[in-house]
Amino acid sequence: MMMRMRPVWLLFAIIASCSLQLLCASDDTILYESFDESFEGRWIVSEKDDYKGVWKHSKSEGHDDYGLLVSEKARKYAIVKEVDEPVNLKDGTVVLQFETRLQNGLECGGAYLKYLRPQEAGWKPKEFDNEAPYSIMFGPDKCGATNKVHFIFKHKNPKSGEYVEHHLKYPPSVPSDKLTHVYTAILKPDNELRILIDGEEKKKANFLSSEDFEPPLIPSKTIPDPDDKKPEDWDERAKIPDPDAVKPEDWDEDAPMEIEDEDAEKPEGWLDDEPEEIDDPEATKPEDWDDEEDGEWEAPKIDNPKCEVAPGCGEWKRPTKGNPAYKGKWHAPLIDNPNYKGIWKPQEIPNPDYFELDKPDFEPIAAIGIEIWTMQDGILFDNILIAKDEKVAESYRETAWKPKFEVEKEKQKDEDEAAGSDGLAGIQKKVFDVLYKVADIPFLSAYKLQIIDIIEKGEKQPNLTIGIIVSVVVVIFTVLLKILFGGKKQQTPQPRTENTSETTETSKNEGSSGEKEEEKEETAAVPRKRTSRREN
């Protein structure tokens, strides 16, 4: 039976191979890198001193499929491959897609790609580093509170001539397992951007929308006048102490907050003459103790066993209670300020860097680079694709990615079952997967990092799963309360103009969040302070 099946599988392999070759030859495929052959000669490794990480042509664990491997921990890596012809991003659809597998997980580091501008912009392949100018940066990045699939594009302001990084707001989170995942960015001619993970849409955005990118691609029409100064008599106090208020005659500011409880009585059996601690009767002076050098030896103290069975030991003192006559410092009540003018803001002036456009003026892609800093090894890159058609990318996902993913997923399931963790652990994993999706909900964006931090702590301590769920629910409930009851604020008078301005950050290079090295501190144990029974 097995002998009869072999031709079928062989035929399937031939068909799959031919399909990939046809795809590679398609006019809609601009670049495809499968890493079936060694990358040497086709990819150029940076020779910069900082980039000592060793790239390897290696099989993906459990497969015969090869990829580009990050082989060492705590290293910087940089490698680049030029495309035959620069890719124009201004006309038609462009699809950017690649696979990564975090075989040893990813606690702190990047696994993203940089789509570089032509070398005329000021870089050389053998000197490729984080300063190399790129058009787009796309892919996973995770370290500490950072957990996102980046999409950043650099755009030249036609007025100022400066390149500005525009970051996708509320990007999706990085999958938390060790399976192969495929990341897809689809740039449409109508300014639409779609981010897919494993073929499933995780984010849709518009390049011209201020709601989707920070800072917005199109600057604000006006900006605050840097030369405008707040008048000296401008009063921003909405409330002021009532100048006509008088402190009541019976208001005693000197009354203490607490007084002795006169009704308290010493408990029966209190041992007045017994100390709370005594010398340890079993302690002996060390043989190497030198009185001249070490001082007079004293036995360490232990809790007095007699006090354990008695209400207390030592001098008894009355406990304190709240003073009903306490009022504290008197302050005049607040009233509306008749001179209140609102919060001062400088007047708005036309923004000299403002411009209008119908679509982004993308710089062409001349090369693909991987420039990362990571604490983990085992990161495998594979099946890097640039195409003009979404269907081409979908075909590669079906033929090159999905078969591997299904095998890995089934193997992971078998390992969980063999470890006896198909029950609780399996449920916990599903719970954490759902919580990561919850973190991506837009109205929770302000709390996303907080939620992800809670989830990651829960993954390290699975026994805290219930507590993690409760914590996330509390965050959601808090946000809902703010939306329902805290959304409407009292309007205050506005000076001169109600327009607000957006500040634009000039481009530096986005480094891997892995560069945020975590510091560990050791704290010395300190003796536990013993609470006196007399205070009870």
CATH number of the domain at 102, please. 2.60.120.200
Distance of CA 294 to the CA centre of its chain: 52
Cα–Cα distance between 390 and 188 in angstroms, integer?
Answer: 10
CA distances from 452 to 203, 409, 457, 471 (A): 18, 23, 9, 11
Cα–Cα distance between 443 and 447 in angstroms, integer?
Answer: 9
Q: Select the highest-mean-pLDDT range: 419-428, 443-452, 504-513.
A: 443-452
- My answer on whether 476 and 387 are in the same domain is no
Question: What is the pLDDT confidence band of residue 397, given thresholds at 50, 70 and 90?
Answer: very high
Q: Could you identify the residue written with the tokens 């995942």?
A: 181
Taking alpha carbons only, the member of 324, 376, 357 closest to residue 72 is: 376
Give the SS3 label for residue 191.
Answer: coil
Give the SS3 label for residue 108.
Answer: strand
Query: b/e per residue, 435-444, with b = 16+ CB within 10 A?
Result: bbebbbeeeb
Average pLDDT over residues 190-215: 97
Q: Is residue 51 scored above 70 in pLDDT?
A: yes
> In the prediction, which pLDDT does 442 show?
73
- My answer on whether 41 and 150 are in the same domain is yes
**The domain boundary residue, chosen from 431, 447, 481:** 481
Q: Is residue 168 scored above 50 in pLDDT?
A: yes
- My answer on whether 366 and 437 are in the same domain is no
Share of residues in the chain with pLDDT > 70 (%) = 80
- My answer on whether 146 and 36 are in the same domain is yes
Asked if residues 71 and 55 have their Cβ atoms less than 8 Å apart, the reply is: yes
Count Cβ atoms below 10 Å from residue 270 Cβ, excluding itself: 17
- Does residue 229 lie in a domain region? no
- My answer on whether 114 and 143 are in the same domain is yes
- Does residue 108 lie in a domain region? yes
**The domain boundary residue, chosen from 435, 454, 481:** 481
Task: List, for residues 398-428, the tens digit of each pLDDT value.
Answer: 999 999 999 999 998 888 777 765 455 566 6
Asked if residues 502 and 211 have their Cβ atoms less than 8 Å apart, the reply is: no
Average pLDDT, the chain: 83
Phi and psi at residue 241, in whole multiples of 5°? Answer: -60, 140
Which residues form the domain of 437? 422-481
Taking alpha carbons only, the member of 445, 45, 381 closest to residue 180 is: 381
> In the prediction, which pLDDT does 484 show?
65
Q: Is residue 54 scored above 70 in pLDDT?
A: yes
- Does residue 304 lie in a domain region? no
Question: What is the pLDDT confidence band of residue 26, given thresholds at 50, 70 and 90?
Answer: low
CA distances from 200 to 197, 212, 384, 397, 526 (A): 5, 19, 18, 11, 53
Quote the pTM value: 0.66
- My answer on whether 371 and 473 are in the same domain is no
Q: Which of 30-34, 192-196, 339-343, 499-503 has the lowest mean pLDDT?
A: 499-503
Cα–Cα distance between 244 and 427 in angstroms, integer?
Answer: 66
- Does residue 339 lie in a domain region? no
> In the prediction, which pLDDT does 536 show?
45
Cα–Cα distance between 111 and 517 in angstroms, integer?
Answer: 17
- Does residue 239 lie in a domain region? no
Cα–Cα distance between 392 and 94 in angstroms, integer?
Answer: 11
CA distances from 177 to 67, 105, 381, 417 (A): 18, 7, 16, 16
Cα–Cα distance between 315 and 75 in angstroms, integer?
Answer: 64
Full DSSP string of 37-74:
S--BTTBEE---TT--PPEEEEEPTTSS-EEEEE-SSS
Burial of residue 484 (number of CB atoms within 10 Å: 0-12, 13-18, 19+): exposed
- My answer on whether 43 and 103 are in the same domain is yes
- Does residue 123 lie in a domain region? yes
Element (H, E) at 322: strand 320-322
> In the prediction, which pLDDT does 371 show?
97
Count Cβ atoms below 10 Å from residue 395 Cβ, excluding itself: 19
Q: Where are the alpha helices (DSSP H) in 203-248?
A: none
Question: What is the pLDDT confidence band of residue 478, given thresholds at 50, 70 and 90?
Answer: confident
Asked if residues 199 and 327 have their Cβ atoms less than 8 Å apart, the reply is: no
> In the prediction, which pLDDT does 469 show?
73
Asked if residues 130 and 509 have their Cβ atoms less than 8 Å apart, the reply is: yes
- My answer on whether 84 and 127 are in the same domain is yes
Average pLDDT over residues 275-291: 91
- Does residue 124 lie in a domain region? yes
Q: Is residue 355 scored above 90 in pLDDT?
A: yes
- Does residue 413 lie in a domain region? no
Residues, the chain, total?
Answer: 536
Taking alpha carbons only, the member of 382, 396, 415 closest to residue 63 is: 382
Average pLDDT over residues 88-108: 93
**The domain boundary residue, chosen from 433, 452, 481:** 481
Looking at the structure of the chain, the number of domains it has is 2
Distance of CA 373 to the CA centre of its chain: 16
CA distances from 190 to 30, 89, 273, 358 (A): 21, 12, 88, 9
Give the SS3 label for residue 400.
Answer: helix
- My answer on whether 215 and 184 are in the same domain is yes
Higher pLDDT, residue 495 or 307:
307
Task: List, for residues 9-19, the tens digit of each pLDDT value.
Answer: 334 444 444 44
Query: b/e per residue, 62-90, with b = 16+ CB within 10 A?
Result: ebebbbbbbbbeebbbbbbbbbeeebebe
Quick one: CA dihedral 441, 467, 178, 449, positive or negative?
positive
- My answer on whether 394 and 438 are in the same domain is no
- My answer on whether 33 and 84 are in the same domain is yes
Query: What Rg value do the Cα atoms of the chain yield, rounded?
Result: 34
- My answer on whether 129 and 195 are in the same domain is yes
